[in-house]
Chain A
Amino acid sequence: MIKLIKLSIFLCVMGICCVLAGCSKAQKRQIVDEQGNKIISFYTMQLKTDFSDFINGMISEFEQNNPKVKIKWIDQPADGFETKLMSMYSVGESPDVINLNTGMMLNLHDRNLLLNLNDYLTTKQRSMFVKSMIDEACTFNGNTAGLPWYISPAVTMINTEVFKKAGLDPTHAPMTLDELMDYCRIIREKTGLFGVMLPLAENGVFRTMILNEGIPLTNPEKTQAIFANERSAEVLRKYKNAYDKEWIPRESVTGKHRRAIDMFKNGKAAMLVNGPQFLRTIKTEAPDIYTSCSIGFTAPRLPNYTYGTETQAVCISAKTAHPKEALAFALWLCAPKNQLQFSHLVPVFPSTTEALADPYFADKGTTPEQMAIYIGAQEVAKGVPNVPTLPLDGKLCRAIDDMVRQVFLRNVPPEKALEQAQERWNRILASHKQKETGK
């Protein structure tokens, strides 16, 4: 019995010790190592699996050129990346250089957690980037929150076999909304397959559908939403008509972009509108579809816009102990030579004019990947990201997604749904403005 009591006490003490150890202040992140080298921590989003050699190569070359700086690279899965970052910031242990997409960059910038690069970048350094990429996608309220690292504009991947069966020209991707709807109808009627699956209620995708018709979302000051009008209602009506007649999949409203990739991969949809990097997945998982794949510009489109551009940026934490070294590393990542090397590994696009001018992007090629590179580079060179960067992007997207669901699933008249969404946007934008002025 005594032994049991002793064991019980021992377990209690051990438990308390473990808890106290957990509660004790976490060890501070090292900013200088024993040899006096400055340590820069570098966080990326899901790059280790495929690009470990490339990133490590860039790091070692940088360390050779900057002998007093050591880079500590940590790669995180995209799922939970922001949550992880939040917890690091909340305990004052943010990484120095962070790979962020536009939405996350905006979230951090709004809280003054990113270094304003205006104070550090020289005119020469700034001018190496495609102007709109640094000025539109990475600059908010006049502050440069990051450097554009790589870009993936959407292209249209076409299953030429299905197009031929439907009597359509596989070298011609639909250009206007009406043409796209027509293609979907013809493909459905002639083959029983779908023309395209566009995830209409995922992350505010419908904003793009509105912008593609030349309808602005907000006033130039980005303080007031102005998209609720007859032209937007007409766009909604056209998609709804196609949905009701099953020219586009029912899952367009409930499915996500992964489902769209699956449908294209399984030969159930004739087109896929997405970043060319997904061609890798198609190549490995559906080689037959890949070989019969042709690439076109994003449908539907306006001539002067870059469509569905996803900008990945490198940002520097406002709390970094080594801003100059961190910026030097961020600029090294964006160096034309490195961007070009990255583009050779996967069809993503450089943000610097020098890299974009490389003959690699001018080659029309014959393989789907090379065709996508040619078309994607043309989109990037045009340079205007079509979705304006707005604060509280997640909430704005939710309002747009809810609007789509109201129209498609609840049969709410498009005018009414647009009006409601616009009111929500204005409330969100006003609350952000109020917060900003109260700062």
Chain B
Amino acid sequence: MKNSLLKRKLKTTSIAYLFLAPAILIMAIFVMYPVLQGFWLSFYQCDPYSSEATFIGWDNYRQLIADPQFRITLCNSILYLIVVPIIIILSLGMAVLVEPLLPGVNFFRAAWYIPVVTTMVVVGVSFRFIFSEDDGLINEVLKYMGIIQQSIPWMTEKWLVLITVMVVTIWKGLGYYMVAFIAALRAVPIEQIEAAIVDGAKPWSIFRNVKLPNLWPTITLVAILSSIGALQAFDEIYVLTRGAVPEATTLVYYIYEMGFDASQSSYEYGYASAMAVVLFFIVLAFTALNLWTMRKGGWSND
């Protein structure tokens, strides 16, 4: 009896793994292998024109500890996490506004989702037009209204550049997370809301005490996704500033510059890989922290 149960369990498990096999294979080739290759490369100095690589031990890591640009971009990447709470609050607020099926609500849903499906190049061109210092929309309007005499350095002053880039990240990401929150709001048990109404609860009280606790898993998920996205911010900087203000770029952009930017002719694959390894562990730590918070909040994937 026990033996047949074991056999059955084994059969079920092997079938499950067989079904998973194609996905595991693809992940192994396109995700795990490059990750491992990155770890390996971080201990080598590579010549991009030959397949030769010289083992240099921890030299790349020593170099990055001494590299001020690495420290600046790492700090900027961590600072970039400011966008996470803003994204959560705004996208949740938008979801609450458009969740009820009121007339015309679909227009707002679509309008707020458009930035998600707009390509980053178009976004970059549009925002450059808005924030350009010499003939940008904002500066021109403010000058016309007599509010400013000199252009606001949106694209040259470190903090303003970071804020501008963060605005683009937030604007582009809101719609995506809004959809997740709409789905979560729809999943709140109607009985709980009705019971609260019967008990005389006000809308704010219903939201705070009934809906919000039910939204906790989605909030955590959004926090994880948006913090990973924030730590890996690249496209916004690439299309808006192209790293023209090095003090206002992120770690991923610096990795790109060191590894692949033709104008820099660096092609320092080993050094770029060492930075990527550091970033990998930071993202891993943030994800673990978020998952731990999620579990503490009572959410499980069962």
**A-B contacts, 19 listed (Cβ < 8 Å):** A8-B19, A9-B18, A80-B262, A83-B260, A86-B48, A90-B51, A108-B49, A194-B134, A250-B153, A253-B156, A254-B155, A254-B241, A268-B135, A394-B263, A394-B265, A397-B264, A402-B246, A405-B246, A409-B245
Q: How far is the CA of A410 from the CA of B245 in the complex (A)?
A: 10
Q: Given A12-B25, A79-B262, A394-B265, are A405 and B49 also a contact pair (CB < 8 Å)?
A: no
Q: Are B47 and A15 in contact (CB under 8 A)?
A: no
Contacts of A410 in B (CB 8 A): 247
Which chain B residues lie closer than 8 Å to A398 at the CB level? Answer: 264
From B134, B135, B246, B265, give the contact of A395 (CB < 8 A). Answer: B265
Provided the pairs A107-B265, A250-B133, A250-B156 are in contact, do residues A19 and B50 lie with their beta carbons within 8 angstroms? Answer: no
Q: Does B242 contact A (CB under 8 A)?
A: yes
Kindly state whether residue A393 has any CB partner on chain B within 8 Å.
yes
- Chain B neighbourhood of A397, CB < 8 A: 263-264
Contact present for B49 and A86 (CB under 8 Å): yes
The one of B19, B26, B151, B263 in contact with A203, judged by C-beta atoms closer than 8 angstroms, is B263
A82 partner, pick from B22, B150, B262, beta carbons under 8 A:
B262
Bound Cα distance A253, B18 (Å): 57
Q: Does B61 contact A (CB under 8 A)?
A: no
Question: What 17 additional pairs, Cβ within 8 angstroms, besides A203-B263, A397-B264?
Answer: A8-B18, A9-B18, A12-B22, A19-B25, A82-B262, A89-B50, A90-B51, A111-B49, A249-B133, A250-B134, A250-B155, A253-B156, A254-B245, A268-B135, A392-B265, A394-B265, A405-B246
Q: Is the CB of A15 within 8 A of B22?
A: yes
List chain A positions with a Cβ less than 8 A from chain B.
1, 4-5, 8-9, 11-12, 15-16, 19, 79-83, 85-86, 89-91, 103, 107-108, 111, 113, 194, 201, 203, 246, 249-251, 253-256, 263, 268, 392-395, 397-398, 402, 405, 408-410
Question: Which of A83, A91, A405 contacts B51 (CB under 8 A)?
Answer: A91
Q: Are A111 and B50 in contact (CB-based, < 8 A)?
A: yes
Contact A86 B267 (CB under 8 A): yes
Known: A8-B22, A394-B265. A89 touches B49 (CB 8 A): yes
Q: For the complex, give the distance between the alpha carbons of A235 and B294 in Å.
A: 58
Residue of B25, B48, B267 near A16 (CB, 8 A) is B25
The interface residues of chain A lying within 8 Å CB-to-CB of B242 are 256
Which residues of A are found within 8 Å of B150, using beta-carbon distances? Answer: 246
Least CB distance from A201 to B in Å reads: 7
Cα distance A9–B266 in the bound complex, in angstroms: 44
Contact A11 B22, beta carbon cutoff 8 Å: yes
The number of residue pairs between A and B whose CB atoms lie closer than 8 Å in the complex comes to 100
Question: How many interface residues does B have (CB within 8 Å)?
Answer: 37
Digitize B205-245: 1 where CB-to-A-CB distance is under 8 Å, 0 elsewhere: 00000000000000000000000000000000000011011
**CB contact between B26 and one of A8, A15, A91, A255 (< 8 Å): that residue:** A15
- Nearest A residue to B46, CB-CB: A90
Residues from chain A with Cβ under 8 Å of B97 in the complex: none
Q: How far is the CA of A408 from the CA of B158 in the complex (A)?
A: 12
Which residues of A have CB within 8 Å of B151? 246, 250
Q: Give 4 nearest A-B pairs by CB, closest first.
A: A394-B265, A254-B244, A250-B133, A86-B48
